[in-house]
Amino acid sequence: MEGTVIVADDDKSIRTVLAQALTRAGCKVRATGTLSTLWRWLDDGEGDVLVTDVMMPDGDALDILPVLKRKRPKLPIIVMSAQNTVMTAIRANEAGAYEYLPKPFDLKGLLQSVSKALKNQALSNIKKTSVEISPSVSSNQSTLPLIGRSAVMQDVYRIMARLMGTDLGVLISGSSGTGKELVATALHEFGQRKEKPFVKVNIATVPEDLVEVELFGKEPSIDLDVDVVGKFEQAEGGTIFLDEVSDLSLVAQSRLLSILQTGEFTRVGGHKTIKTDVRILASTNQDLRELINEGNFREDLFYRLNVVPIKLPNLNQRIEDISDLVHHFLSLAETKGLGLKLIAPDAIELLKKQHWPGNVRELKNFVNRMVVLSKDQLISSTDIKEELKEKLSGFESSYKDDNKTEQFSLVVENHLKRYFDLHGNNLPPPGLYDRVIKEIELPLIALSLASTRGNQLKASELLGINRNTLRKKIKGLDINVSRGKKMM
């Protein structure tokens, strides 16, 4: 690498490490611990790349970046921060940063970013924006749309920050309760269309025969002598968020694909072509590639929606965020009039050891429950233990049979052992996998349908599978479905 790199950080040890590493890589380095010195050097035209911390003894580096970008628009600026929040990433991106790296940073990754910045500087092929930071973004941390400083969430923040100045479509995937709607909301509220409507549609809650009307509207007819304005018209100029897009029928998928291809649609029962200008964000808790293989999701639609994928981690993949999340939920509870509650450190550690199949949503509900039920201002580990006794352990943990508790997986294993023993030294007939899966699927789906009184929407939510997949399995397993009464 060739060029002069200016390093600004109030931590002398970090300045030393970076200076030594960059010098070994072939760069000239100037290092400072104050914003005033940094500004003087940059005002004199020094430096080919700037690597800077956010919080300095004499100010916030992000506050001067917009002015600096107007003065030196071609200077690549790499921002480092120990704050590690999505708002820091967004602020850095809005202020014109070339790259945002959370602390503790990977030295190799930082050197690669510097090298890339030096190579690309002359080409100037990356469009920079000089957006002034609004007070709500720069100072009000209570507006954080997402909470967490873990490495996996930093990856999410970096992708989100880079999307703020674009109109690209985004497919947000993740299990239920991971925060897909929060990501979509943030992409709109900090994006180019933030002054326009943001319309959310949860496909899973709309009856299948009404999905097209809900999305595209309906012309007056003999049955209904009024216009129905669909969600796409309501979102004109703004953003539409299709939550659980995997639940769309194949017919509705075709109409959505047509909008993505042409920017036009017609209302149900209508002939007039309506032009539309909306940004489409979509989410799913299903594996769309698997649904494509099953014939339940269009491959061409998948590629149209999946322009930029964002995969949200489960809560058990970001355990280190639980402390921040719990304190955030306690603060929210106070603003809602539930009272001020604190939580003991050992209680936080206990929560970190729990399995949260419902992810962040389940943790939030648990914290709210503790706020209401805890008699003392300090929620202790004893309080947590008592409440956890009431918390459902989950289907996979155990079930009771003749007053004995036995793991479900062991029951299946013992059954299969007996099955193999019946065949002695011979192997069972081919196709064992499909036979076993069918034996488990049949009662699982039948009992789920029975519990929901034949409501396939509720059954698919209970099972955690796509509604189209459920219908296909009902047909394949020849399950009789009756609505409105217990089936078993």
CATH class of segment(s) 165-311 = alpha beta
pLDDT, residue 227, reads 82
pLDDT score recorded for residue 225: 66
Q: List, for residues 193-222, the tens digit of each pLDDT value.
A: 999 999 999 998 888 888 999 999 988 876
| pLDDT category of residue 271 using cuts at 50, 70 and 90 | confident
Q: What's residue 483's pLDDT?
A: 56
26 vs 16, 23, 29, CA distance in Å? 16, 5, 9
CATH of domain 4-130: 3.40.50.2300
pLDDT of residue 349: 93
pLDDT at 224: 62
Classify domain 399-476 at the CATH topology level.
Arc Repressor Mutant, subunit A (1.10.10)
CA distance linking residue 180 with residue 166, whole number of Å? 19
- Whole-number average pLDDT of the chain: 83
Helix (H, G, I), strand (E, B) or coil at 345: helix
CA distance 284 to 272: 31
**b/e 152-190 (16+ beta carbons within 10 angstroms → b):** ebbebbbbbbebbbeeebbbbbbbebbbbebbbbbbbbb
- Per CATH, domain 320-390 is 1.10.287.1080: no
C-beta of residue 2 within 8 angstroms of C-beta of residue 118: yes
Interval 209-263: pLDDT, tens = 889 999 999 888 766 667 889 999 999 999 999 999 999 999 999 999 999 999 9
Residue spans in the chain of domains classed CATH 3.40.50.2300: 4-130
Segment 420-470, tens digit of pLDDT? 877 778 888 888 888 888 888 888 998 888 888 888 888 888 888 877 788
Q: What is the pLDDT of residues 369-417, one digit of tens each?
A: 999 888 888 899 888 988 887 654 444 444 444 444 445 677 777 778 8
Domain(s) labelled CATH 1.10.8.60 in the chain stretch across 320-390
What whole-number distance in Å separates Cα of residue 394 and Cα of residue 392?
Answer: 5
